[in-house]
């Protein structure tokens, strides 16, 4: 099973600032890596797949990069609606599909 590790656990950011979230895989997942945004009581929302491709309807302030074992999600200028928990998920080796433990982005 591939273990995904996200850092930091919590990121405190002011609106308008840049946020950088990291995700590391215990072995290479190529570019088979997705990022999700999750707010309480809502459906998880796919932001990025293929490590860097934005999903349908995702604004360009969200960008993903990386390959192999190291990945980054960048939110270029945080909006109020972006405060949420973000998860990375690998889908290169399955089952199981595995997630990181999440990074909570909150208001500084």
User: What is the binding site for other proteins (CB under 8 A)?
Assistant: 30, 32, 34, 36, 38, 41-46, 49, 55-56, 87, 89, 91-92, 94-102
Between 16 and 95, name the residue whose CB sits nearer to other proteins.
Answer: 95
Distance of CA 87 to the CA centre of its chain: 5
- Give the largest CA-CA distance in the chain: 39
In this complex, which beta carbon is closest to other proteins, that of residue 57 or of residue 60? 57
- Residue 73 region by backbone torsions, left for phi larger than 0, else alpha for psi between -120 and 50, else beta: beta
CB of 43 to other proteins, least distance (A): 4
For the bound state, the minimum distance from the C-beta of residue 78 to other proteins, rounded and expressed in Å, comes to 22
Q: What single DSSP character describes residue 60?
A: T
């Amino acid at each position: 099973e591939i273990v995904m590790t996200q850092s930091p656990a919590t990121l405190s950011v002011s609106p308008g600032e840049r946020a950088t979230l990291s995700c590391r895989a215990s072995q290479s997942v190529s570019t088979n890596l997705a990022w999700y945004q999750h707010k309480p009581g809502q459906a998880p929302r796919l932001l990025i797949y293929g490590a860097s491709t934005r999903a349908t309807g995702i604004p360009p302030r969200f960008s993903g990069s990386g390959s192999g074992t190291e990945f980054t999600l960048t939110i270029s200028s945080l909006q109020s609606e972006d405060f949420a928990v973000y998860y990375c998920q690998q889908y290169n080796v399955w089952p199981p599909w595995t997630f990181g433990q999440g990074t909570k982005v909150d208001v500084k």
